[in-house]
Amino acid sequence: MTDGDASFRGAFSREMEQYNVSIRVVDFYSFESLAFIKALKKRIAILTYKIQYAIEGQLTDGERSR
């Protein structure tokens, strides 16, 4: 019996039900996980833009990348 095995998951679920522990399984492609990844990507893009803007603001006009 291994962690990914169906019989292990079933036995584990039954044990947790005895103690009234709810198990929440979140799939990688579920809405919640995708929403988290999407928000993280947006935040990283904003921070990257701010850093780039701050660096380019300190450069002379000839050195700017735009």
The widest CA-to-CA distance across the chain, in whole angstroms, is 70
**26, 32 contact by CB (below 8 A):** yes
pLDDT value for 29: 67
Could you read off the pLDDT of 14-51 as tens digits, one per residue?
888 998 888 776 666 667 777 888 899 999 999 999 99
Start-end of H helices in 1-66: 6-18, 31-58
Instruction: Work out the average pLDDT over 49-58.
Output: 86
**Position 2 pLDDT exceeds 60:** no
Confidence of residue 3 (pLDDT cuts 50, 70, 90): low
Instruction: Work out the average pLDDT over 11-16.
Output: 87
Three-class SS of residue 31?
helix
